[in-house]
Amino acid sequence: MSIESLLRAQAYGLGFDLVGFTRLGPADTADRYEEWIERGHAGEMAYLERGAEKRRDSRRPFPGASSAVVVGMNYGGREPPGPVARYARGDDYHDVMTAKLRELHEWLSSHVGRDVGGKAYVDTGPILERDLARKAGLGWFGKNTNLINPTFGSFFFLGVLVLDCDLVPDEPFEADRCGSCTRCIEACPTDAITAPRELDATLCISYLTIERKGAIPEELREPIGALIYGCDICQDVCPWNVKFAPALDERSPYASRVVLAGKEPRQLARELLGMTQEEFSRAFSKSPMKRAKLRGLKRNAAVVLGNVGTPADTDILATAVDDDTPLVREHAAWALRQIAARSSPARRTRIEPPSS
């Protein structure tokens, strides 16, 4: 068997669902990416500007880098929708996939009898994984900007193992199979998909609930609806996911952890608002949700209760108005005003925002 066949089989054996090979070199989308940053669409994500040389040319991670193994790993597009995006309900994909890619790297070195130079990337460096994935034949760029695979949909993580050995590349995926469909664009609650394959991250619910560190603009709070962390809407409506997204194995590291499993938005929001730092650290150990920190999740929980809460939620929100963090206090006060307006529209009880 060829080394490519053996590598592919080994990758599947490690739990990856998609595997492709490509040669490294100048990135097709680097210029467009940098224009996107210059337009301010990255918002507060200043880290996206780093490592421009490696981003422009994927041979730059280390001397001699020439090929890449590109993998995809299912995270459960058939799971029911909920207040937390599917990708974040289980263990952190960065850790899970990086460990598997390093194991693949070790196997390759052992098999060929030399220390093969290599470096794993899972959304943690300047490498444009999506660009390499298309070149490795794994799919095309959908109008929602996600990579879509014709037999798998888009509910999968991408990872790259950069190597200093030559692999026979797979054929790039050249077709655009979105056709005239614009469901993802039309479904976005905040109009974050400003044109086909153009996303203004500063409007995206995933950005607002995860990457944005300060207050969520008031005009964007109601469109967030019942979403506490992330958003799957543009993927949920995609016909390729409706038809092809695979189920999640119950043994998957991305299966929902107990603190999230089956929770309705109001229930989860109340639990988050009542959490201590110690409880948060214990409940979300090895979870990608730690990225937002407890104050960010409490902020998001307050917004959700402001959108879907009832007078029964005013107790937990009244407590949150006295939170140590101004960010939480401000959003809790907003939520109380929203609930008051809904429950007594004639009186529209006024609750003043707390001082910072």
Catalytic residue among 17, 57, 91, 123: 123
The rounded distance, in Å, linking the Cα atoms of 356 and 354 is 6
**Which helix (H) or strand (E) covers residue 99, if one does?**
helix 93-112
Q: In angstroms, what CA-CA distances link 10 with 44, 197, 222, 238?
A: 39, 33, 47, 31
Tokens of 77: 């597009």
Asked whether 297 and 213 are in contact (CB, 8 A), the reply is no
**Which helix (H) or strand (E) covers residue 203, if one does?**
none
Q: In angstroms, what CA-CA distances link 345 with 319, 334, 340, 341, 342?
A: 23, 15, 7, 5, 6
**Pairing state between β 198-199 and 193-195:** antiparallel
What are the backbone angles phi and psi of residue 54, rounded to the nearest 5°? Answer: -70, -35
Beta-carbon contacts of 87 under 8 Å, excluding residues fewer than 6 positions away, are 75, 93, 155, 157, 230, 254, 288
Quick one: which of 328, 256, 217 has its CA closest to 84? 256
Quote the radius of gyration of the chain (alpha carbons, Å): 22
Asked whether 294 and 280 are in contact (CB, 8 A), the reply is yes
Kindly tell me the sign of the dihedral angle through the C-alpha atoms of 231, 237, 240, 241.
positive
Q: Is there a catalytic annotation at residue 91?
A: no
What single DSSP character describes residue 190?
Answer: T
Query: For the purposes of burial, counting CB atoms within 10 Å of the CB of 7, is it exposed (0-12), middle (13-18) or buried (19 or more)?
Result: buried
Asked whether 150 and 139 are in contact (CB, 8 A), the reply is yes
The rounded distance, in Å, linking the Cα atoms of 73 and 155 is 8
Active site residues: 123
